[in-house]
């Protein structure tokens, strides 16, 4: 696949009405794919189970972790002993990436191959969630996993809450970038007898695997899991 985005990268004006929240968040390459409105950003974030968090500690690292949203904040959690949690608790700068791959874009030339995607980048610093707010924020993670789960699962006890760091980052300094549609081949390649189009991709939901010996009721979100 080409390591470049198509010619549209020279366009430097995003079509979205919402302006970039900051200069560093402004999409420069293929800027017509940029969106800065909360609705687009929230939708892409809500479709994600995980994000990648980049920070310098002092070497630059990028760590995948579970994430969820409440309002205009993205949350992550982890053990108090995690290097990432300890580092981000200090208010260090971070950049969070969320990516959904929607398809492989097959062009007539190798150069013009691409991918369809929805992605969000968040710039900022995480803040520690206060002890008093932790239960509600962690409940939201359960609800993100499956609506109703927070009422079913045993809530964390004091020692579990104490052992867990929960961090939130504002979604205010964020950019979304979305590519969709088919290949954009060069005019001179259009007659080549090479298959061109999109090979769509999506996350697969496979049949649930109950724990052996479980005799309780099966919640609706489990029965419906592989029909999603």
Ligand X SMILES: Cc1cc2nc3c(=O)[nH]c(=O)nc-3n(C[C@H](O)[C@H](O)[C@H](O)COP(=O)(O)OP(=O)(O)OC[C@H]3O[C@@H](n4cnc5c(N)ncnc54)[C@H](O)[C@@H]3O)c2cc1C
Binding mask 62-101 for ligand X (x = CB under 6 A): -------------------------------------x-x
Q: Which of 57, 104, 106, 115 binds ligand X (CB under 6 A)?
A: 115
Are 146 and 219 within 8 A, CB to CB? yes
Characterize 86-116 residue by residue with b for buried, 16 or more Cβ atoms within 10 angstroms of its Cβ, and e for exposed: ebbeeeeebbbebbbebbebbbbeeebbbeb
> According to CB under 6 A, which one of 48, 51, 175, 196 is a site residue for ligand X?
175
Indicate whether 28 belongs to the interface with ligand X (CB under 6 A). Answer: yes
Cα angle: 228, vertex 148, 209; to 5 degrees:
50
Residue 196 C-beta: closest distance to ligand X, Å: 17
By the rule CB under 6 A, 50 interacts with ligand X? no
Backbone angles phi, psi at 214, to 5 degrees: -70, 125
> Which structure tokens are listed for 39?
């609705």
The residue among 125, 122, 118 whose CA lies nearest residue 97 is: 122
Radius of gyration, alpha carbons of the chain: 21
Which span (27-35, 68-76, 186-194, 203-211) binds ligand X, by CB under 6 A? Answer: 27-35
Contacts of ligand X in 176-205 (CB under 6 A): 176-177
Considering the complex, state which of residue 84 and residue 95 has its C-beta at the smaller distance from ligand X.
95
Rule CB under 6 A: is residue 32 a binding residue for ligand X? no
Report the interface residues with ligand X, using CB under 6 A: 1, 3-5, 24-29, 99, 101, 115, 117, 119-121, 175-177
């Amino acid at each position: 696949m080409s390591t470049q985005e198509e010619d549209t990268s020279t366009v430097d004006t995003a079509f979205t009405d919402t302006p970039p929240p900051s200069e560093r968040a402004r999409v420069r390459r293929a800027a017509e794919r940029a969106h800065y409105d909360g609705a687009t950003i929230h939708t892409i974030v809500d479709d994600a189970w995980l994000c990648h968090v980049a920070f310098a500690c002092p070497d630059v690292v990028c760590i995948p972790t579970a994430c969820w949203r409440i309002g205009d904040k993205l949350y992550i959690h982890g053990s108090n002993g995690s290097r990432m949690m300890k580092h981000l608790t200090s208010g260090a700068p971070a950049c969070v990436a969320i990516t959904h791959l929607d398809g492989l874009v097959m062009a007539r030339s190798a150069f013009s191959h691409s991918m369809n995607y929805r992605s969000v980048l968040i710039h900022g610093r995480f803040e520690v969630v206060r002890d008093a707010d932790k239960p509600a924020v962690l409940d939201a993670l359960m609800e993100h996993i499956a609506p109703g789960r927070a009422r079913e699962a045993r809530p964390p006890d004091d020692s579990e809450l104490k052992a867990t760091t929960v961090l939130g980052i504002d979604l205010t300094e964020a950019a979304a970038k979305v590519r969709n549609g088919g290949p954009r081949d060069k005019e001179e390649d259009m007659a080549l007898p090479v298959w061109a189009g999109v090979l769509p991709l999506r996350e697969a939901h496979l049949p649930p695997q109950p724990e052996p010996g479980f005799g309780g009721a099966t919640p609706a979100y489990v029965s419906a899991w592989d029909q999603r």
